[in-house]
Amino acid sequence: MISLSRCSFLNNVGVSGSRSPVTYKQGRQPPTLVRVIASSPDRDNGSVMTGTTLKESRENAASVLQADSKPTVSGEVLDVTEEHLVTPWTVSVASGYSLLRDPHHNKGLAFTEKERDAHYLCGLLPPQVTPQELQVKKLMHMLRQYQVPLQKYMAMMDFQETNERLFYKLLIDNVEELLPVVYTPTVGEACQKYGSIFLRPRGLFISLKEKGKIHEVLRNWPEKNIQVIVVTDGERILGLGDLGCQGMGIPIGKLSLYTALGGVRPSACLPVTIDVGTNNEQLLNDEFYIGLRQRRATGQEYAELLHEFMTAVKRNYGEKVLIQFEDFANHNAFDLLEKYGPTHLVFNDDIQGTASVVLAGLVAALKLVGGTLADHRFLFLGAGEAGTGIAELIALEISKQTNMPLEEARKKIWLVDSKGLIVKSREDSLQHFKKPWAHDHKPIKELVDAVYGIKPTVLIGTSGVGRTFTKQVVGAMAALNEKPIIFSLSNPTSQSECTAEEAYTWSKGRAIFASGSPFDPVTYNGKVFVPGQANNAYIFPGFGLGLIMSGTIRVHDDMLLAASEALAEQVTQENFDKGLIYPPFKNIRKISAQIAARVAAKAYELGLATSLPQPKDLVKHAESCMYNPNYRSYR
C-alpha cells in the first residue's frame, strides 16, 4: 500500500513553478522518465518538465504508477491507502521528438534557439524560428486556400491535434471567420461524415459495452481536473437527426468554444458521446460507421447507462463539474434535466442556453420595435426543446417584470408543432412539455393560418425543418407588423426556416432578423442589413465560466435571466444601426466575461457559489481566469 501526497507530488513534478529548471546537456541521452499529467492543473499555462531533479521526478512518477489518487466530492485529489487496481496514467516526458508530437506543449517553428537547445530539438526542426503571430498568418492563408468547408474543418482538427495553443490562438483571433468552420454549419456535415473522415479519436466514447465500468473508463481520460463535460447521445444532432456515435463532433465543437469564447482551460474540458446505438439505417449500413451497430437502447437500459455515467462523473470529478447535455432528443432531454437538476450541476444547452440567447435578442430588439416583452405576442414553429425552453424563459421574464402569474404570461406565447397549433383540444395527447402551451383556440394546421389567427409580433423557428418560413409566412408577418421580429433558429444552414435574404426581401426590408447559423449581410434596396446569429454559443461559454469560477453547485433559472440581460446590454447603437440585435462575435471574450460575472453574482446571491469569499470585481476576476493561448517560454 502506498500513500501518495498530491501536494508534494505536484511540487516536484509540477510545472512552470519557481524552482530551478532541469538542464539537459546536449549530447546526453534525452530523459526517459515518465511524467504523470493527470494531476497537472497548470498544464495549460505552459509547462514542460521543470522544477525538480530527474531522480526526484522518477521516484515520484514511479510511486504514482503504483498508487492511485482518489477524488472527493469537491473534485480534490487526496491521499489513498486502499489497495485496488489502478490505471497507468503516463506519457513520455515532453522533450525532443515527443515534445514536437505533444499538442499541449508543441510550438512548432516557434521554439526559440535556446528552447531547441535545452529540449533536444536541434535537427528536428528546420532552422527558421517563426513567432506565433506569423504561424497564425500562415495557417489562415492555408485555410483560405481550401474551397470546401469540410476541408477547413479537417485542417482545424489537425491543428488542434498538433499544436493546441496555435489552434486556439487562430480561433480566438479569427473567431468570426472560423466559427462557421469548427461550429455550425460545418460541424453538422462533419458529424454526418464523421466515420469517413475519422483519423484520430478525440473525446471519450462510452457505449453500452462499457456498462458496469464507466467509472474506470472515465479514468482512462488523461486529465483529472475536469471542469466541464459536454455530453451527447447523438440522437438529435442540430436539425440533422440521429447521427449516433458520430455526434461526437458536437461536444468537441462546443468545448472548443468553451475555451476559445469562454476561456475555460482545454485540459479542463471533456467531450463525451454516449453510444446506445442508432436508429439511422443509413449509418447502420455504412461500412465506415464508427459506433455500435444496433438500434437504440431505450427505457430502463438507457436510463441505467445514463445513471451510471452521471454517478461516475460525480464520483470522479466532484460536485462542481458542469455537465452540459447537448443534442439529446426531447423524449430524453427534459427528463434528464429534471432528474439530475437537483443532484448535479447540469445545464441543457438546447433548452436553457438557447432560451437565454433568444431572450437577450428579444430584449435588444425591443429597442428597435418599442414596447415591453409583455406587449408582444409570440408564435413558434417547433415545440420541442428549443421552442418550449425559449417560451418558458420569456414567460418567466414577463411574469417577473409585470408580477403577472406565470400561467397568464404563458398565454402570450403560442406554439405550432408538426400537427399544427397547440390548443386545448389537443391537450390529452400532448407530450408533458407542450401541455402548458395548450391555450383556447380552434385547431389550425398551417403555419400561415396560425400567423393570421394569432397575429404574433414575433415569429420564432425551432422546427429543425428548412424553408418552412415561406414567402406567404414572412409576408403575413410583414402585413401584420411594421417591424416583424423573425428568428430562424434551426441549424445547420440547410435547416434554417428561411435565409436572411428571404427574410429581408419578403418583408421589404422591415424584418428584424436573426438566425441560428450565420448568414452574410444582405443588400436590399441599396441598404445593407447585417443579420445577427441567435445561437447559444453566445451564452454557454460565459455561463459555464461564471459557474466554474464561482464554484457553483446547481443551475438556477435566474442565472439564465442574468446571462440574458448581460448579453443584451452588450449590443451597441452602432450594432442597432445595422439592424443587429446581437453584438459581433469578435468581442466575444469580453462579452463572456460580462456574462460570467453576472451569472456568478447571481450564484453568490442565491447561496449556490462555493468559491468564497466572493471576489470584489467579478468581471476582472472572470477575465483573469481565462485561458490565454499565447505560447509560454520554456526554461
Ligand X SMILES: NC(=O)C1=CN([C@@H]2O[C@H](COP(=O)(O)OP(=O)(O)OC[C@H]3O[C@@H](n4cnc5c(N)ncnc54)[C@H](OP(=O)(O)O)[C@@H]3O)[C@@H](O)[C@H]2O)C=CC1
Shortest distance (Å) from residue 337 CB to Mg ion: 13
**Burial (CB count <10 Å: 0-12, 13-18, 19+), residue 617:** exposed
Query: Does residue 324 interact with ligand X by CB under 6 A?
Result: no
Shortest distance (Å) from residue 353 CB to ligand CC(=O)C(=O)O: 7
Cα maximum dimension of the chain: 86
Which of Mg ion, ligand CC(=O)C(=O)O, ligand X, none interacts with 385 (beta carbon under 5 to 8 A by kind)?
ligand X
Which of Mg ion, ligand X, ligand CC(=O)C(=O)O, none interacts with 462 (beta carbon under 5 to 8 A by kind)?
ligand X
Of 210 and 385, CB closest to ligand X: 385
For residue 616, the 8-state DSSP code is S
Query: Does residue 94 interact with ligand X by CB under 6 A?
Result: no
Of 210 and 350, CB closest to ligand CC(=O)C(=O)O: 350
Of 444 and 539, CB closest to ligand CC(=O)C(=O)O: 539
Which of ligand CC(=O)C(=O)O, Mg ion, ligand X, none interacts with 190 (beta carbon under 5 to 8 A by kind)?
none
3-state secondary structure of 439: strand
Which residue in the set 102, 115, 327, 502 belongs to the binding site for ligand CC(=O)C(=O)O (CB under 6 A)? 327
Distance of CA 41 to the CA centre of its chain: 21
Q: What CA–CA distance (Å, rounded) separates 54 from 95?
A: 13
Q: What is the contact mask toward Mg ion in residues 321 to 360, using x (rule: CB under 5 A)?
A: -----xx----------------------x----------
Please identify which of the residues 152, 254, 412, 434 carries the catalytic annotation.
Answer: 254
Other C-beta atoms closer than 10 Å to the C-beta of 224 total 22
Q: Is residue 146 among the annotated active site residues?
A: no
Q: What CA–CA distance (Å, rounded) separates 568 from 361?
A: 6
CB 33 within 8 A of CB 57: yes
Q: What CA–CA distance (Å, rounded) separates 527 from 186?
A: 29
Q: What CA–CA distance (Å, rounded) separates 482 from 581?
A: 17
Which residue in the set 463, 493, 507, 592 belongs to the binding site for ligand X (CB under 6 A)? 463
Q: Is residue 254 among the annotated active site residues?
A: yes
Where in 517-556 is the site for ligand X (CB under 6 A)?
A: 534-536
Query: Does residue 350 interact with ligand CC(=O)C(=O)O by CB under 6 A?
Result: yes
Query: Does residue 189 interact with ligand CC(=O)C(=O)O by CB under 6 A?
Result: no
Where in 222-281 is the site for ligand X (CB under 6 A)?
A: 236, 238-239
In sequence order, what DSSP letters do the residues of 506-541 get, joined into one string? Answer: HTTT--EEEESS----EEETTEEE--EE--GGGTHH
3-state secondary structure of 448: helix
Distance of CA 590 to the CA centre of its chain: 17
What residues contact 618, with CB distance under 8 A and at least 6 apart? 596, 597, 598, 600, 601
CB 155 within 8 A of CB 142: yes
Which of ligand CC(=O)C(=O)O, Mg ion, ligand X, none interacts with 463 (beta carbon under 5 to 8 A by kind)?
ligand X
Q: What is the contact mask toward ligand X in residues 398 to 427, using x (rule: CB under 6 A)?
A: ------------------xxxx--------
SS3 for 382-410 is CCCHHHHHHHHHHHHHHHHHHCCCHHHHH
Which residue in the set 164, 349, 397, 502 belongs to the binding site for ligand CC(=O)C(=O)O (CB under 6 A)? 349
**Burial (CB count <10 Å: 0-12, 13-18, 19+), residue 29:** exposed
Residues lying near ligand X in the complex (CB under 6 A): 236, 238-239, 330, 350, 354, 357, 381-387, 416-419, 462-465, 468, 489-491, 495, 516, 534-536
> Which residues does the annotation mark as catalytic?
183, 254
